[in-house]
Each structure stands twice: as structure tokens, then as C-alpha cells.
């Protein structure tokens, strides 16, 4: 599968990391622009659920957690907090969790949360599905920062899977994807490849080869997602290791 190279590519060179979403957001510390705002919105959409889960695990009620998360993102833009960020230190994940922790500690007037960030809506948190909002409860025994990391890792994987689904659907392989997607993260049981091959009208060896190729592409897309939140190849490798450790439990 031939894919155009992009700034977040797994094959990105050090110089190309200058155009990741995180590096573009850091430029907002110098001058606001439509490009930096779009990059920030992209990152916020990736991290709203991890931060929401963190707030809930800290004891916030559902509506309070939604309001506080929205207000936090709005204040990032309003106060231009990126102006003080050292571009050579810290990944976006670390910066965001540290900032949100301070925000929760300093947020004593809960009435202000009803304003939903003073009207500066970055995106609607009301559109969150209830299953998305409450799945943190399954990890109620975990510490808040652990819940944040787990939800972050799951979000990265979900976004990469969605990109792979869209790529394959565009190539006319949407039906194959629906039948084979479970094998992207699970090894097949006895006879499973043969059973799927029969349903799809494909030779069994072709199914195995297809899954192998799609697994490799899935890994590339996961790396591409993570690459958007770091500033160097070294940080990318560190984040990938951290993601694997989080998912491994």
C-alpha cells in the first residue's frame, strides 16, 4: 500500500518533526494563527477523553468533569499558555496532564464551570457518547494518572484504527476490513483464517498475508498519531515504548 509521506509519518526525518501538531501549537506561543488553532483543536480532540477520565477518577461528577475539561481547553487558548513552554522539554501528553492537574487544584469556583469556558467552545463535549464517558469506571482501581495514560493509549489506537478503516474503505476493501480487523491485535485460533477466507472467497494464505500487511500499516499509523505530539525521533521512540507499557498493563 503506497501512502504519501506526511509530517507525522513513521518515516519522518528530524527536520520534518518541525511540522508536527505539537510543534505548530508551540508556535502559538509566538503568534496565533489559523494553522496553530487547527493543530491545537486536533490535539484537544485526541486528549479530551483522557483528561475527562482523569477528572472523573479524581472524584468529579460527570457534568463537572465535562465542564472542567472544556473550560481547561478554552483557557489554553485564552491565556496562550504555550508561550512559556520550553520547546525542547516535555511531550504534549506530559505538558497537558501537568497543566490540567494544576488547573483542577486551583479551580475552586465550580459555578464558573457552567459557562463552558466563557463561550470559547473548542468542540462540543455534549456529543460524547455515554459509553465513552463512563468506561473509566472499569478501571476504578487505578490511580488517576494511570487512567489518563490508559485512555490516552486507547485513543491513539482507536484513531489509528479509524484511519486504517478509512484507507481500506477508500480502496474498496471495507468488507475485508470488517472481517479481518480482530486479527490486527489478536492471533487467529485454529481454523479461523480458513473460516474467514471461505466467507470472503479468498485463499487462506492470502488472508494471512493480508493481515500481516495490515498489521504493519496499523503500526505505522499508530506511530504517526504519536508523532504528532512530540518534537523529535527520540521522543517518538520514548512515547511508543510508554504506550506499549501502558497497554501491556
pLDDT for 217 beyond 80 = yes
Q: Which residues contact 14 (CB under 8 A, 6 or more apart)?
A: 232, 233
Nine cell digits for residue 98: 501537568
pLDDT score at 92: 78
Query: Distance between CA 50 and CA 97 in Å, rounded?
Result: 9
Q: Are residues 75 and 64 in contact, defined by beta-carbon separation less than 8 angstroms?
A: no
Q: What is the mean pLDDT of residues 55-65?
A: 87
Main-chain phi, psi angles of 140, to 5 degrees = -65, -20
Residues 72-112 have pLDDT tens digits of 887 876 766 666 666 565 677 888 888 899 888 887 555 44
pLDDT score at 7: 38
Q: What is the mean pLDDT of residues 68-73?
A: 86
Comparing 123 with 205, the larger pLDDT belongs to 205
Query: Distance between CA 38 and CA 155 in Å, rounded?
Result: 19
Q: Are residues 67 and 118 in contact, defined by beta-carbon separation less than 8 angstroms?
A: no
pLDDT score at 15: 47
Least confident stretch, 18-22, 84-88, 153-157, 217-221: 84-88
Q: Are residues 176 and 200 in contact, defined by beta-carbon separation less than 8 angstroms?
A: yes
Q: Which residues contact 120 (CB under 8 A, 6 or more apart)?
A: 74, 77, 78
Comparing 25 with 242, the larger pLDDT belongs to 242
| 204 exposure class (CB count in 10 Å sphere: 0-12, 13-18, 19+) | middle
Q: What is the mean pLDDT of residues 61-71?
A: 86
Query: Distance between CA 81 and CA 138 in Å, rounded?
Result: 33
The vertex-154 CA angle with 208 and 171, nearest 5°, equals: 45
Q: What is the mean pLDDT of residues 52-60?
A: 89
Q: What is the mean pLDDT of residues 112-121?
A: 46
Q: Give the model's confidence band at 117: pLDDT under 50 very low, under 70 low, under 90 confident, else very high.
A: very low
pLDDT score at 161: 95
Q: What is the pTM of this model?
A: 0.74
Residues 153-194 have pLDDT tens digits of 999 999 999 999 999 999 999 999 999 999 999 999 999 999
Q: Give the model's confidence band at 2: pLDDT under 50 very low, under 70 low, under 90 confident, else very high.
A: very low
**Inter-axis angle of helices 192-200 and 204-227, nearest 10:** 100
Comparing 107 with 208, the larger pLDDT belongs to 208
Q: Which residues of 82-98 are buried (b: 16+ CB within 10 A; e: fewer)?
A: beebeeeebbbbebbbe
Residues 129-139 have pLDDT tens digits of 444 555 555 56
% of the chain surpassing 90 pLDDT: 36
Amino acid at each position: 500500500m503506497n501512502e504519501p509521506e506526511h509530517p507525522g509519518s513513521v518515516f519522518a526525518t528530524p527536520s520534518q518533526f518541525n511540522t508536527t501538531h505539537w510543534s505548530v501549537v508551540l508556535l502559538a506561543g509566538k503568534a496565533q494563527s489559523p494553522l496553530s488553532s487547527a493543530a491545537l483543536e486536533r490535539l484537544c480532540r485526541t486528549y479530551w477523553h483522557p483528561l475527562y477520565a482523569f477528572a472523573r477518577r479524581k472524584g468529579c461528577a460527570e457534568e463537572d468533569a465535562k465542564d472542567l475539561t472544556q473550560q481547561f481547553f478554552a483557557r489554553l487558548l485564552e491565556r496562550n499558555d504555550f508561550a512559556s513552554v520550553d520547546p525542547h522539554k516535555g511531550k504534549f501528553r506530559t505538558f497537558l496532564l501537568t497543566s490540567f492537574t494544576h488547573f483542577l487544584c486551583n479551580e475552586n469556583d465550580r459555578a464558573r464551570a457552567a459557562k463552558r469556558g466563557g463561550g470559547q467552545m473548542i468542540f462540543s463535549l455534549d456529543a460524547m457518547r455515554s459509553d465513552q464517558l463512563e468506561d473509566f469506571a472499569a478501571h476504578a482501581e487505578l490511580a488517576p494518572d494511570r487512567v489518563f495514560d490508559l485512555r490516552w493509549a486507547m485513543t491513539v489506537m482507536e484513531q489509528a484504527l479509524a484511519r486504517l478503516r478509512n484507507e481500506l474503505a477508500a480502496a474498496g476493501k471495507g468488507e475485508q476490513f470488517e472481517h479481518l480487523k480482530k486479527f490486527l491485535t489478536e492471533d487467529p485460533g485454529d481454523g479461523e483464517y480458513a473460516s474467514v477466507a471461505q466467507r470472503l472467497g479468498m485463499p487462506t494464505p492470502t488472508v494471512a498475508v493480508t493481515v500481516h500487511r495490515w498489521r504493519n500499516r496499523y503500526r505505522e499509523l499508530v506511530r504517526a498519531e504519536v508523532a504528532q505530539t512530540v518534537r523529535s525521533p527520540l521522543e517518538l521512540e520514548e512515547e511508543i515504548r510508554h504506550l506499549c507499557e501502558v497497554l501491556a498493563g
